[in-house]
Amino acid sequence: MLVWSDRFATNIELVDLQHKKLFELLNKLSDSFKQGSPSDVMVYETLQELMDYADKHFVDEELLMVQSKVDPRHINIQRMEHRSFLYDIKNMSGHLCTEDDFKEVSEKLVCFVTSWLTFHILGIDQAMAAQIVAIQHGATPEQAYDSLSTVKYDAAVTHLMLDSVMELWHMSLERCHRLEDKLDALNEVADAKHQ
Ligand SMILES: [Fe+2]
């Protein structure tokens, strides 16, 4: 369960409203996994609702950055993060098909979205908001982007971000190991064919 607090606020009304809605949908998804099964329509409807809403939010955020004249170096990184989130969540949801995998995959999905939203909102979304404010106060997009390196995070935020990034890193590592195992198995089959 991800609980909203002022730490997540960007002070951009639309963005904060949409982030709160994403928290709500994540918690709804977590509940639907606890109550549902792979054959449950409710699980897929809730998952689809979260993916659709995240997609809409990313489009709005990207439009806001362009309209606010945020430096393209930042916009490109943020766009890439948005695309990679949608790719990953779609990919993971494709593995929710059997009763055996369902519990494990659904827990991973909730953990992934929780960590991703925490890291993304406390990190790149706050950086976006800081640049928008700086530009509104007369900085050029380049100055606003370059001044990000001097931003100081408080200890609690740094702690939350580190926990989230470690969680995401562990999940990526696990996926790499699974891929390596599959590759080894394929190589063994190929070797056996050539003998
Ligand atoms: Fe966002």
Q: Which of 5, 4, 7, 10 is nearest to 130 (CA)?
A: 10
Distance 14 CA to ligand 1 centre (A): 10
How many Å is the maximal CA-CA distance in the chain?
Answer: 71
Distance 52 CA to ligand 1 centre (A): 14
- Using pLDDT thresholds of 50, 70 and 90, give the confidence band for residue 148: confident
C-alpha 13/C-alpha 189 separation (Å) is: 56
How many Cβ atoms are within 10 Å of 25's Cβ, its own excluded?
Answer: 19
Between the CA of residue 56 and those of 49, 82, 99, 111, 152, what are the distances in Å?
A: 11, 11, 31, 22, 30
Distance 188 CA to ligand 1 centre (A): 44
Distance 48 CA to ligand 1 centre (A): 18
Distance 192 CA to ligand 1 centre (A): 50
Distance 69 CA to ligand 1 centre (A): 17
Distance 185 CA to ligand 1 centre (A): 40
pTM: 0.88
Reading phi first (left if > 0) and then psi (alpha if -120 to 50, else beta), residue 9 is in beta
46 contact partners, CB below 8 Å, separation of at least 6:
25, 28, 29, 32
- Mean pLDDT of all residues in 167-179: 90
- Using pLDDT thresholds of 50, 70 and 90, give the confidence band for residue 151: confident
Identify the structural domains of the chain with CATH numbers, from first to last: 6-194 (1.20.120.50)
Q: What pLDDT sits at residue 51? A: 96
Of 152 and 89, more confident: 89
Distance 121 CA to ligand 1 centre (A): 6
Question: Is 35 within 8 Å of 44 (Cβ atoms)?
Answer: no
Share of the chain above pLDDT 90, in %: 70
Span 48-80, pLDDT tens digits: 999 999 999 999 999 999 999 999 999 999 999
Q: Which of 160, 139, 157, 159 is nearest to 148 (CA)?
A: 139
Least confident range from 12-21, 79-88, 178-187: namely 178-187
Distance 195 CA to ligand 1 centre (A): 54
Mean pLDDT of the chain: 92
